[in-house]
Structure 1
């Protein structure tokens, strides 16, 4: 099912090459492209939620398959003051905040994040711009983190607030964020990656932490994560669609 989905996206993307070259922001405003995503979202969400095992794994690969040049896109080095200051101090003062609808709010150092139960996986990253790369990721299991924070019964989504501002807006909605439901949050391959290809996660790929939610497209893999918020809905966050790109026309569910 997953491989067919990837092939479908590749075929659909072949008709949109000129749009890909324009970049994600222009894709989001193109009705043809968002129409493709709407069809893809409905198909993939039904398949994953109604047909496949919710714990089914995305394909994993051998070390020999790792891409020599894993493309980085989006923000490559945040210029937000808080990120710049933390980076200058090698993130010694960084705390990963976990709050919202939790019984035990957390504020973890990177050492504490690295001490959580972890997972290592070699997976393929598929971008809506039409490229794919394979990388090796190691990170804290999101499920272990959420179990430690103890979600309240009304929690339905996890929102990832990030350091990088992609667009200057008066309402502050230009700062990057993403969200996933609890099925994906507790999936065994969903991790907060701190290592990539057996080295510390590079800044251009999201240092210090990057979400890896392997059964979804690349724009869901939030970089520069600073805070996790458990919520019952996301209507009051950003522009209310559940993520920076969904707020601008992309589909919230990007399953593959």
Structure 2
């Protein structure tokens, strides 16, 4: 198994983040959205992000495991079958008509079929999913390195974030979305995964395509991907905080 040189530092930071952040992430959304305390939380998030990046190099890898460590069943979380009619039609057709749109601040907007993505160079990695709810699970993921896909569309200099638009909706009718900054987007372990444990990605785990950003907590791992949008700001998307749960009080920076 791979043990990056700075793993102990990352583990210490992750433990500190989880210990101090559980109040914010777990059950105190009303507090985190308080107009009085929000500036304090925002400042704390920025400090946490800077501290993490001082301790971990740009290319520091999340730990990778052996096949013997893979869980027999990878636990699904969140939505396990989107009920949107368009998605259900795509699933019924085994996603042959599905396309991943990549647009926004790119030179060459494109739409990729699942077959086209599978034909591109791939990466396989065995990593641990850490959920903010307190559980973890190890699985083997195969997919396209996001940085390689971005190179194909040509990212414009002003792009600061990749926004992941999804097919599933949560109670209240809001469609799920997430985002990464360009540093995490270009990390070698950041994948658009179409296979889990050597088989096509199950619907419960995000078929046909999901994000794997292995240096982030699980709520950043957007499932049921439909569109990637390169942007310089979140202001025009959702609640303007960079993600479905972030709009409801979670921290945008979820590095571990």
Q: Does TM-score exceed 0.5, indicating one fold?
A: yes
Alignment match of 2:116 (pick from 84, 108, 112): 112
Stretches of structure 2 lacking an aligned partner (at least 5 in a row): 1-8
Q: Give, in whole Å, the separation in 2 of the partners of 1:216 and 1:106.
A: 27
Q: What is the CA-CA distance between 1:81 and the residue it aligns to? A: 1.2
Residues 5 and 44 in structure 1, CA contact (< 8 A), matched pair in contact too: no
Q: What is the CA-CA distance between 1:46 and the residue it aligns to? A: 1.4
Alignment partner of 1:92 is 2:96: yes
Alignment match of 2:14 (pick from 6, 19, 35): 6
Which residue of the partner structure matches residue 193 of structure 2?
Answer: 193
CA RMSD of aligned residues (A): 2.4
Stretches of structure 1 lacking an aligned partner (at least 5 in a row): none
Q: Give, in whole Å, the separation in 1 of the partners of 2:184 and 2:202.
A: 25
Q: What is the CA-CA distance between 1:37 and the residue it aligns to? A: 7.8
C-alpha distance after superposition, 1:125-150 (max 9, x if no partner): 11110111111101101001000000
Which consecutive aligned stretches of 4+ in structure 1 deviate over 4 angstroms post-superposition? 9-13, 34-40
Cα distance change on mapping 1:137 and 1:160 into 2, 3 Å: same
Question: When the two structures are superposed, what TM-score results if normalisation uses the length of structure 1?
Answer: 0.88
Q: What is the CA-CA distance between 1:51 and the residue it aligns to? A: 3.4
Which residue of the partner structure matches residue 237 of structure 2?
Answer: 237
**Number of residue pairs matched?**
244
List aligned pairs for 1:50-199, cutoff 5 A: 50-169=54-173, 174-199=174-199
Which residue of the partner structure matches residue 217 of structure 1?
Answer: 217
Q: Give, in whole Å, the separation in 2 of the partners of 1:250 and 1:211.
A: 19
Residues 10 and 56 in structure 2, CA contact (< 8 A), matched pair in contact too: no
Q: What is the CA-CA distance between 1:69 and the residue it aligns to? A: 3.3
C-alpha distance after superposition, 1:175-234 (max 9, x if no partner): 000000000000000000000111111111000001000001000000000100000111
Question: When the two structures are superposed, what TM-score results if normalisation uses the length of structure 2?
Answer: 0.88
Q: What SS does structure 1 have at the residue aligned with 2:152?
A: helix
Q: What is the CA-CA distance between 1:6 and the residue it aligns to? A: 3.0
Cα distance change on mapping 1:31 and 1:238 into 2, 3 Å: closer
Q: What is the CA-CA distance between 1:40 and the residue it aligns to? A: 7.2
Q: Give, in whole Å, the separation in 1 of the partners of 2:20 and 2:251.
A: 16
